[in-house]
Amino acid sequence: MELVRAAPGPAFTLTFDGRDIPALPGQTVAAALWSAGATSWRSTRESARPRGLFCGIGVCFDCLVTVNDRPNQRACLVAAEPGDAVRTQEGTGHDDR
């Protein structure tokens, strides 16, 4: 099967917990992380259990990350942008709680 003139723009990088992750225009943060082999990027409040992509449509909140110092961003809905700083979210994502 041949793609019909599909040509994404040039790749760029974002950082995830300080390491460079490649991404393509149009990818969500979750898609970029998953493509790079990251399957968990949040821990639960109570028992610190790992979470990552589950529903992929913004319903379940398992994919919460901190993007550019903004906690509680649903990685499956946030478009990846060049230079984004994505961090694993611990609990609520707020340092003071």
- Kindly report the CATH number that applies to the domain delimited by 12-87: 3.10.20.440
Domain boundaries, the chain: 12-87
The answer to whether 49 and 64 have CB atoms below 8 angstroms apart is no
| pTM metric for this prediction | 0.83
Q: Provide the 10 A C-beta neighbour count for residue 59.
A: 10
pLDDT digits (tens, 9 = 90+) for 28-68: 999 999 999 998 888 887 888 888 888 888 888 889 999 99
